[in-house]
Amino acid sequence: MNKDGAHVVFYRTLETKDKKQPVLAILLTKRTQDAPSDVGDWGLVGGTMDRGETPRKTVLREINEELCYRTRPLQVSRLLKVKNGTHTVHFFQAPLPEDMDTLKLKRNRKGKVEGEGIGWFTQEEAFCLRLRPQDIPAVQRFFSTFR
């Protein structure tokens, strides 16, 4: 069974109160209490690669499966590849200028929503959350490249 995966760091700028200095934020979803791992953690959109699937195709499929996102073509670029024991997780980054009212978590084929919450978080906010351990290197790399 293939345990390789692909995840995406979605990002956008958020307006601030003084409107002078926008703040960079990433999109995170909260894992359900009955998730197979990392219960209740916040993490990136993504999942396990299907047999014969490329990392890029996996991340695009997972975006649709988890967020119902088909509004416009995404410019997904590679961010990081992490080897974890016997499997590899590919991380991508992509701008996503959508407001919260246009995003929603999608129900899977069994009628279950794949997360308990979704939100945009600044660097400071993200690192105050309990992040999914395998996503931490990608979140750190992302914010370090946008300084």
Closest CA to 2 of 81, 58, 73: 58
Distance of alpha carbon 49 from its chain centroid, rounded? Answer: 15
DSSP per residue, 14-46:
E--TTSSS-EEEEEEEEPPTT-SSSTT-EE-EE
In this prediction the pTM is 0.88
Query: What are the distances in angstroms from CA 7 to CA 15, 28, 72, 81, 113?
Result: 26, 11, 19, 10, 18
53 in Cβ contact with 61 (< 8 Å): yes
d(CA 7, CA 62): 8
> Residue 7, Cβ neighbours under 10 Å: how many?
24
Tokens of 34: 């009955």
What type of residue sits at position 133?
P
Tens-of-pLDDT digits for all 147 residues of the chain?
A: 558 999 999 999 988 777 678 889 999 999 888 877 888 899 999 989 999 999 999 988 888 888 876 656 678 899 999 998 888 999 999 998 877 777 777 776 676 677 788 999 999 999 999 999 999 999 999 999 876
Q: What are phi and psi of 127, to 5 degrees?
A: -80, 0
Give the position of tokens 């069974």.
Answer: 1
